[in-house]
Structure 1
Amino acid sequence: MAGVFDVEDESIISTIFKDSFPDNWRDNPDFAQYLAELSSFGVDKLGREPDRLAEDRAQILEQTQNLAFHNYKTFIQTAECSRDIYQDFQIIEKHVGGMLEKLPTLSTQCHQFLTKAQEISSSRRMNSLTLQRHTQLLEILEMPQLMDTCVRNGYYEEALELAAHVKRLEKKHSSIPVILNIVSEVKNSMQLMLNQLIQQLRANIQLPACLRVIGYLRRMDVFSEAELRIKFLQARDTWFQSLLNAIPAEDAYYHITKTIETSRVHLFDIITQYRAIFSDDDPLLTTKEDGPNEGALFHGWVVHKISQFLETLKQDLQRGVGGRLDSVLGQCMYFGLSFSRVGADFRGLLAPVFQKAALASFQQAVDEASNRFDETMQTYSFLTVSAGFSSAAYSMGIQASSLNPPLSLMEHQPLALYCNYILTAFNDLRLCVPLSLACDVATVLQASLCKVVEMILAFHRAEEGALNEKEHENFVKFCQLFAEELVPYFNRCLQALFPPSQLGLTLGVTAVDINKMVSMGGGEHHTLGNKLGV
C-alpha cells in the first residue's frame, strides 16, 4: 500500500508542482521524504512552512559565513592544496604518458635481460659443474699429452690402453668438438707409435722384442694379417740390406765372404723370427680364395733373398776372387746346408754358378797363356837354346806317368812359359773342378793348343827363309817337344783333373770306352805334330 501511495503521491506532486523543481531532485531521497512530510501538514502548518524555511536558510547562511570566517585559512589551504594536487596530477599524467610510451621498450629490454640472465645462470651452473668435475675433465684433456709421453718413452702397453679408452669416448661423445680434437691428437700419437714400432723392426732386434712389437701392431689393428707379414718382411729386409750395403765392395773375395757370413747369420735369424711369430702350415699347399696366400708371401721373400744372394755371388765371381774359388764354394755350401734346417736348401743352385765361374776363370787363364806365348814368340830366337838340356838326355822321357812337367820344355822359353801358365790355370781349376766341366775344359784347352799351333805355323812361314841349319834344327826340336811332350802332358793333367773312372760313372759308360776316347785324343795330338811337319 505504501508503494501505491508513493506512486499516487508522486503523481499528485507532479501535477501540483509541475515544472517547479528540476528533474534530478526526484532521485534525492531527502527531497522525496520532505515532500512526503509536506503533504502530511495541515493548512496552518503548511502556511508557516515558508517562514520556517526562510529562518532555516538564514540560519544556515549565517553558520556558513561564520564557518568561512573562522576557517578561511583552511579554505585557502584547501584551495592551494587542490591547486597543487591538480598540478601534481598533470605532472603525473605527463609522466604516466611518457612511461606508457616507454613501456614496450622496457618490456623488450626486460625480456632480453631475462634471456641473458637465464644464459648466465645456465653458464654459472655449467661452470659450477665443471669446477666440481675439474679432476675428471683435466684427466680427459691431458690424454693427448699423456699419450705422447707414453709413446715417446716406449710405454706402448699403457699407450694402447689409453687409445682404447679414447676410442670408447669417441663412440659415446662423437658430437663434442673437444672430444674430437682429443681423438685426432691421440691418432697422431698412434701414428708416431706405429712408426716407432716399424723402426724397431728395422734395427738389430731379437726374437722376444720382435714378438712384443708384432703383438703391439696386432693390437693397434691397423694392418690385416697379410699386410702385417709384408710390413715385417719389408722392415727386416731393410735392416738386412743396410748390413749388406755396409760391406766394403773393393775386394771381391772379402765382399762375397762377408756377404755369405752376414746372410747366413741374419737371414736365418729373420726366418726363425718369422716362423715364431706367424704360424703357417705348408706354405705351398695353403691357399686362400678370397685373399693372398699368406704363407706364399714368406716363401716368395725367401726365394727372392736367395736369388739376390746368387746374383751377388755371380757378380763377385765375375770380378775374380784371386784363386780362392774353393774357399767361396765351401762357405756357400755351408750357407746352403744351414738353410736346409728351415727348408730352404739352395745348394743345388750353386753348382751352375761355380761351374760358370770356374770355366770363365780357366778360360781367362788359358787366353792369357796363349797371349803370353804369342808375345814370347815375337822376340824368340832359335839360334841358341838353354844350356844343359839336350834332347838326348831326355830321349827316354822322365816319369811319363808323372804329373811333373817335362824338364825338356825348359830348352825353349815359349813352351816353358806356356806350360807354366796352363799349369797355373789347372791348379786354380783343381781347387774347384766339377766333372760337368770336363768337355768344356778340354774344348778350351784344345782351342788354345790350336791357336798356339797357328802361331807356330805363322812363325815358320814368316821365318822359313831366314833360318839357318842350326836354327832349323832347333825349330824342329821345338815342334817335337810341343807335339810329343807338352800335348801328352796336358792330356795327363786333364785325366788327373777328370779321372776316367769317375767320368765313366757319371756318363754311364765303361772304363774301356773312356780309354778309347783318351787314345783318340792322343791320335789327335800326333795329328797336330804332323801339321808342324815333325
Structure 2
Amino acid sequence: MPEHALPTTQATTSRLADVSPLTDVIASSSKVPVEQLLKPNSQEYLSNLTTYGLQDLLVEPTTLQTQSHHLTSSLTSLTHTSYPTFLSLHRTTNALTASLTSLSSSLEALLNSSLPALEDCAAGWKERTETVLRDRSKARVVLEQHEKIRDLLEIPLLIDTCVRNGYFTEALSLVSHAKALATNASLSNQPPPLLLSSVLSEIHHSIMQMLLSLLTTLYEPNRKLPALYKAVSFLRKMDVFGSSSPFAPAPPHLKASDSDKFSEFLGDNVSSEEQIALAFLVGRESCLKSILEPCKGDVSRMTQHGELDEREKEDLARCLKKYIDLWREGVYDVITQYTTIFLEKTSPAALAYQSSTAKSNGVVTPSESSTAKQEWLRLHALITTYASRALTAHLLPILSPSLSLLSISLLPSLLTQLTYCSTAFARVGLDFRGLLSTLFSRAVAEVIRQDMRKTRDKFVSRFQIPTSPTGRNINGVVKPKWERPSRWLVSTTTDLPPVPVTPATPASTSTFLSQGPPHIPPQILASYPPLAEFTNALLSVLNGLRLLAPTNILPTLSRVLDNEVLAKSGEALFAYIKAYRSDSRLATGTNVDDDGDEQERQEGIVMAFGQIYFAVLVPFMRRALVEGVYGVKLDATFEDGGPTLPTVVMDWEDYYLENDEEDESDSEGSEEE
C-alpha cells in the first residue's frame, strides 16, 4: 500500500504541464467549442483540475452546478433589480460601438486620404507662397528704403531740369552721385538692380541732351567768348570725348589700312582736348559759313554774268568790302577765342612754369611734361590749319574771280582794306600780305588787258573793209563803197596833215623816243581824230594803272600792249590801207569818180595816217607804259614784247618804202613828159 500511496500523493500534487490532451478529450465528449476551451481561463482551470483528487473530481460537478445555480439566481436577481442599467449599458455599448466604428472609418479615411492630401497641400503651399513672400519682402525693403528710392528716382528729373535751365554744374554733381551709387552696386559682384539701370539710362539720356546743348552753343553765331569758354569747360568736365568714352570712336572715314597711318600721325590716341578743339572749330566754322553765305551768294550771282557795267562793278566792290569785313571779324574771333580757350593755359611758358613747380614738389615726371608739350603743339597745329583753310576756302576763292571783273579804280581801296586786314591778322600769326601781291597783280593785269582789248576792238572796228557794193559794175568789177579818208581820218580844221617824208625806221624811232615827256602825247596825233581817240582811251587805261601798278606785271602788260593791242590794231590798219590803195578807183558817197589829183590826195591821207600810227603812236604808247607809269628806261628795240609787233612794223616800213619809190618814179616820169 505504501508503494501505491506514494504515487497517489504525487498524483494529487502534480500539475500537467500540457493540458492539450485533456482539452481534446473534453472537446470530443461535450458540445463546448474548442475555441472556448483554448482560452487562457479555460486552460488555467483545466490545469488546476488536474491537481484534484478523485474525491474532488467527483464533487466538482456538484460544486460547479451549485455555483451555476447561484450565479444564475444572482444574475436573475441582478437582472430584475438592475435592468434599466443594463438597457442603458446596452444602448451605450451600441452607441459606443457605432461611434468606434465611425471613428475607425474616419481615422482610416484620415490616414489614407486626408493626411496625404494635407501633406501634398503643405508641400505646395511653400512653393505657392514663396513668390508672394519674396514680393512682400521686396515691398518691405522698398518701404524701408522709400526715402532713398525716391531720391534716386528724382535724380534724372533734377538733371533734366538743371540741363534745361543751364545749371550744368549741379547736373554734373548729380551725375557723379549716380555714378557713385552704381560703383557701390558693382562692388558687390552682382549685377546692378533694374531700378538703378533704368535710372542710369535716363541719366545718360539727360547727359546726351546736355552734350547737344553745349555743342549747339558752339554752333550759335552770336555767342561770345564767355559763353564759348563756359561750354568748352563743361565739355572738359563731362569727358565725353575721352579715350574711354563711347562718344569717341575711331574716325569712320578711315579704312583699316589708313588707321595705322592715322595713329602714327596723331600718336597712340587722340586726346580729349584735341577732340573738343576740333568740335569747337567745326562749330565756329559753321557759324562763319552762315554769316558769309548771304554776301557770298550776292557776289556769286554778280560774277556769273561775266561782263559788268560800271554800276554793277560798284555793287560788286561794295559786296566784296562787306564780305571781307565779315570774314575778318569772323575768322579773327575764331582765332582769338581758340587761343584763349585752348592755348593760353597750355602755352610753352605756362607748361614750363607748371613743370618747374611740379618738379620741385615731386609731382610731375618728365614724360608727362613732354606729353603736355606735344598736345600743345597739336592744338596749335589745329588752329594754324584752320586759319589757312579759312583763307584758302572762304576769302581767296571769292576774290580771285571777282577782282578781275572790277574796274581798275576800285581795286586800290580793296587792296588797302585787305592790307589792313592782313596786318591785323599778323598779330595772331596769319599774315597773308604775300598772297595779296600775286592776287592783285593778276587782277590788275587782267583788268588792264580787258580794258586795252576793248579800246583795241573799238579802234579796229572803225577800219573794217567795207563789203557792200556801190551797185556799179566798172570794167566788170564790182567796187566796194569806201568813205572818204579826208572826212574821218584827219581833222576838218586843217587842209592836209603834215605827212612825214621818211618812214619810221629804228633810228628815227629812237630819235623820237628821246623827245618829249612820256606822259604827254605828241601834238601831231590831234590832227588825226581816230588816233587821238585811240591814244586818249589807252592813256585813260594807263592813268587808272597809276593808282595800282604792280612792278611784277610790267612784262605782261608790255606784251599785252605790244602783241594784243598795238600789233593787232596795226595789222587791221595795215590791211585797211592796202585794201583801200589796191582799189584803182575810190567809191564816194555820190558814186562820182574822183579825178587823179583827188585820188592821190586821199591815198596820201591814208598813208600819212598809217605812218603816224606806226612812227608816232606806237613808240609813244610803249614809252607811256614803261617810262610814264613805271619809270623804267625803254630801249628802242622790241625785245620784251615778242616778235609780233616788230614784224608788223617792219612790214609797214617795207610797204611804205615801196610806195615812196613808186611815187618818186611816177613824179620823174611826169617831169620827163
With normalisation by structure 1, the TM-score equals 0.82
Letter in 2 for 1:12: S
Q: Is the 8 A contact 2:405 2:447 kept in 1?
A: no
1:150-229 counterparts in 2 under 5 A?
A: 150-173=162-185, 174-203=191-220, 204-223=222-241, 224-229=272-277
Deviations 1:12-40 (A, max 9, x none): 2449999389676579999999999x99x
Q: Is the 8 A contact 1:366 1:425 kept in 2?
A: yes
2:7 corresponds in structure 1 to: none
2:603 corresponds in structure 1 to: 472
1:494-513 counterparts in 2 under 5 A?
A: 494=625, 495-500=627-632
Q: Is the 8 A contact 1:197 1:217 kept in 2?
A: yes
Deviations 1:246-303 (A, max 9, x none): 2132353233212211121121111111111112558xx9999999934322221111
1:77 corresponds in structure 2 to: 88
1:61 corresponds in structure 2 to: 72
Which segment is superposed worse, 330-339 or 297-306? 297-306
Of 448, 456, 462, the residue aligned with 1:362 is 448
In 2, the alpha carbon distance for the partners of 1:31 and 1:68 equals 30
In 2, the alpha carbon distance for the partners of 1:350 and 1:29 equals 151
Q: Find out whether 1:383 has 2:486 as its counterpart.
A: yes
Q: CA deviation at 1:407?
A: 5.5
In 2, the alpha carbon distance for the partners of 1:186 and 1:153 equals 16
Q: CA deviation at 1:147?
A: 2.3
Q: CA deviation at 1:529?
A: 6.8
2:384 corresponds in structure 1 to: 299
Q: CA deviation at 1:340?
A: 0.6
Q: Find out whether 1:235 has 2:306 as its counterpart.
A: no
1:459 corresponds in structure 2 to: 576
Task: Count the aligned residue pairs.
Answer: 505
* CA 92–381 in structure 1, closer or farther in 2 if over 3 Å, else same: farther
Q: Is the 8 A contact 1:359 1:441 kept in 2?
A: yes
1:491 corresponds in structure 2 to: 622
1:239-278 counterparts in 2 under 5 A?
A: 239-247=287-295, 248-249=298-299, 250=302, 251-278=315-342
Q: Find out whether 1:128 has 2:134 as its counterpart.
A: no
Q: Is the 8 A contact 1:391 1:408 kept in 2?
A: no
Q: Is the 8 A contact 1:147 1:159 kept in 2?
A: yes
In 2, the alpha carbon distance for the partners of 1:91 and 1:321 equals 132
* CA 440–531 in structure 1, closer or farther in 2 if over 3 Å, else same: farther
* CA 79–319 in structure 1, closer or farther in 2 if over 3 Å, else same: farther
Q: CA deviation at 1:227?
A: 1.5
In 2, the alpha carbon distance for the partners of 1:32 and 1:446 equals 176
Which segment is superposed worse, 479-488 or 256-265? 479-488
Q: CA deviation at 1:498?
A: 0.4
Q: CA deviation at 1:328?
A: 1.1
Q: Is the 8 A contact 1:389 1:408 kept in 2?
A: no
In 1, the alpha carbon distance for the partners of 2:175 and 2:148 equals 17
Which segment is superposed worse, 317-326 or 27-36? 27-36
Of 338, 346, 349, the residue aligned with 2:435 is 349
Q: Is the 8 A contact 2:159 2:203 kept in 1?
A: yes
Deviations 1:423-471 (A, max 9, x none): 2321332222111111111111111111111111100111113452332
Of 548, 551, 554, the residue aligned with 1:435 is 551
Which segment is superposed worse, 306-315 or 448-457? 306-315
In 1, the alpha carbon distance for the partners of 2:373 and 2:11 equals 130
Q: Find out whether 1:12 has 2:14 as its counterpart.
A: yes
Q: Is the 8 A contact 1:373 1:452 kept in 2?
A: yes
Of 96, 102, 107, the residue aligned with 1:91 is 102
In 2, the alpha carbon distance for the partners of 1:154 and 1:166 equals 19
Q: Over aligned residues, Cα RMSD in angstroms? A: 4.0
- Where does the alignment leave 5 or more consecutive residues of structure 1 unmatched? 1-7, 501-513
Q: Is the 8 A contact 1:252 1:317 kept in 2?
A: no
Q: CA deviation at 1:60?
A: 3.3
Task: Give 3-state SS (helix, strand or coil) of 1:320's partner.
Answer: coil
Q: Is the 8 A contact 2:14 2:50 kept in 1?
A: no
In 1, the alpha carbon distance for the partners of 2:132 and 2:18 equals 83
Task: Give 3-state SS (helix, strand or coil) of 1:254's partner.
Answer: helix
Task: Give 3-state SS (helix, strand or coil) of 1:278's partner.
Answer: helix
Deviations 1:81-132 (A, max 9, x none): 3223322333333333333223223212122223444543443343233223
Q: Is the 8 A contact 2:408 2:545 kept in 1?
A: no
* CA 230–357 in structure 1, closer or farther in 2 if over 3 Å, else same: same
Task: Give 3-state SS (helix, strand or coil) of 1:142's partner.
Answer: helix
* CA 356–491 in structure 1, closer or farther in 2 if over 3 Å, else same: same
In 2, the alpha carbon distance for the partners of 1:392 and 1:407 equals 12
Which segment is superposed worse, 449-458 or 376-385? 376-385
1:337 corresponds in structure 2 to: 423
With normalisation by structure 2, the TM-score equals 0.66
1:328 corresponds in structure 2 to: 414
Which segment is superposed worse, 154-163 or 373-382? 373-382
In 2, the alpha carbon distance for the partners of 1:497 and 1:109 equals 120
Deviations 1:320-373 (A, max 9, x none): 367411111111111111111011111111111111111011111111111101
Q: CA deviation at 1:239?
A: 0.7
Which segment is superposed worse, 470-479 or 237-246? 470-479
Of 653, 662, 669, the residue aligned with 1:530 is 653
- Where does the alignment leave 5 or more consecutive residues of structure 2 unmatched? 1-9, 27-36, 186-190, 242-271, 303-314, 349-369, 467-482, 501-511, 587-598, 640-644, 658-673
Deviations 1:196-230 (A, max 9, x none): 21111111221111111111111111212221221
In 2, the alpha carbon distance for the partners of 1:254 and 1:9 equals 167
Letter in 2 for 1:325: L
Q: Is the 8 A contact 1:253 1:322 kept in 2?
A: no
Q: CA deviation at 1:243?
A: 1.0
Q: CA deviation at 1:408?
A: 4.5
Letter in 1 for 2:390: K
In 1, the alpha carbon distance for the partners of 2:371 and 2:145 equals 56
In 1, the alpha carbon distance for the partners of 2:205 and 2:408 equals 55
In 1, the alpha carbon distance for the partners of 2:383 and 2:628 equals 45
* CA 394–205 in structure 1, closer or farther in 2 if over 3 Å, else same: farther
Letter in 2 for 1:87: A
Q: Is the 8 A contact 1:207 1:273 kept in 2?
A: yes
1:142-157 counterparts in 2 under 5 A?
A: 142-157=154-169
Q: Percent identity?
A: 25
* CA 97–323 in structure 1, closer or farther in 2 if over 3 Å, else same: farther
